[in-house]
Amino acid sequence: MTCVKVRATLIEDNNGVKSQVPILLTTEGEIASVTDYLLFKEVNGASNSSMISIIRAISLLLDYMEANKDLFHHPTILFQTFAKRLYSGTIGEDGLDPSGLYWLPSSTINVNKHINRLTAFTDWQSKRLGNAAMNPLSDATPHEYRLNYASWFRKNQSDYLGHIKNESINKTIRKARLIKGRSTLTHIDGDSLAFPDKYLEPFFKHGLGGATDVRVILRDKLVLLLIHGGGLRLSEAMALWVTDVFEDSNNPDIAVVKIYNEVDGKAPYNWKSRSGTQTREAYLKENYGRIPRIKMSGTNFLGWKSRVVDHKDNYIKVQWFPSDYGKVFMSLWRNYQKFRASIDSYHPYAFISFHHTSLGSPYTINAFNYNYSVGLKRIGLKPNKSEGICPHGHRHNYGRRLERSGLSPLLIRRCLHHKSLESQVPYTGKSHIDISNELQEATNQLSQTESVVKPIDWINLVQSGFDDIDPQGYFTGKNPKFRSLK
């Protein structure tokens, strides 16, 4: 290993705000170009996990270059062989690896991701090196020299990772990435990994309900209702503030729950900062001295995946389905609030820890996942993502319920807070069991004596539905180009 990843606190100016990003350290010190790139990605909203993935890809390239130094005199061949070794691994048939890397073969998906990340990095680096006035050159460490060489070649020669910029659009569109990764296997939507309906009641009553502390029971049941009855992602449910649960004006027994984006969401109680800012990020800073959990690292981090909000105040509204889940939530919420209010918590999060070592602290995803697995164990189950027995399986169950009810895909998209209709396919697709049951039902219909199976009309059959295998209409369609189907 030629470099190691560490998490560093960086001071970029004289203000009180500091950046925490992963960086690469070698025996010569920090690789500054990588740090600069990650700071650039941070300002554009890159998550901590994506920055770690970038670090991983660059580390692999540097390790390979170190293990094979002086062997390659052309970056195209170097990167071509590097990509090949990611696919194949570096261990020979005799079990030996003279390079000392001992890489095992990686999946096509992971290798392609590494290639794309390295492409983006060297694209950025080549532009950076080309602007001498803003970025004067200085003596580089050996590792920086290797990365700079790759980026220089990207700018001045034929780019082993991407096409050269060209003012002529006609020339540009005729170029393609030299190393673009192998084609991955095509997935046919896959099984909808929904939490099995038959386990919900025993899990709710005796699984999570089997805890010894009533406060823990109420809290974990409320989270479960949000992800199962409201279809929220777990990170969204954990981001709920105590100020964002209301009684429905039409039916006070049903809870109205809003999950605000912690950066851009509007602060509660029409609060304004001294400068007039009304965002939740400013509210957290001024009232609690905290930063949004989306910007934290470690166990307190909460992601925010949704790009769709339901209101200009930047929140998503929980859509209970069936609405009875909203009634159960409100009933439990009223009891939970009594316990929540009795504990000092210097933050606005609804769900808190009741463990003596972290009493009153914001509840974490890791802690919920642990309690979730313990609850499964109480009813004789184990976490199993392949069967939907996991927290995210409840969101899939929610999507399947919406689909089975016959609701419009546009309405389902609103309930799941998806930006596109394609995003809901994994949540509303048929499971393998559903497909098997429907095929068995169709088989039973064929076996009936009164059933009449009509012969297939091939001429009509091939007139439509073959765009994926014959997009030019050479053999199919109403007017095939190459031959008549009559």
Condensed to tens digits (0 to 9), the pLDDT of residues 429-445 reads 666 666 677 777 777 77
Does residue 482 come out as left (phi exceeding 0), alpha (psi in the -120 to 50 range) or beta? alpha
Residue 484 pLDDT greater than 60, yes or no = no
Residue 49 pLDDT greater than 60, yes or no = yes
Q: What is the pTM of this model?
A: 0.68
Q: Where are the beta strands (DSSP E) in 168-236?
A: none
Beta pairing partners, 315: 260
Contact yes or no for 350/334 (Cβ under 8 A): no
Beta pairing partners, 256: 246
Please identify which residue in the block is written with the tokens 């390790």: 63
Beta pairing partners, 7: 22
Residue range(s) in the chain whose domain bears CATH number 1.10.443.10: 197-416
d(CA 308, CA 211): 36
| Residues 155-163, mean pLDDT to the nearest whole number | 45
The pLDDT confidence band at residue 135, using thresholds 50, 70 and 90, is: very low
What is the per-residue pLDDT for 138?
45
Q: What one-letter code names the amino acid at 188?
A: I
Instruction: Give the strand order in the sheet containing 19-26.
Output: 4-10, 19-26, 29-30
Distance between start and end Cα atoms, the chain: 67
The pLDDT confidence band at residue 150, using thresholds 50, 70 and 90, is: low
**380, exposed or middle or buried, with CB in 10 Å at 0-12, 13-18, 19+?**
exposed
CATH number for 197-416 (one of 1.10.443.10, 1.25.40.10, 3.40.50.300, 3.30.565.10): it is 1.10.443.10
What is the per-residue pLDDT for 109?
85
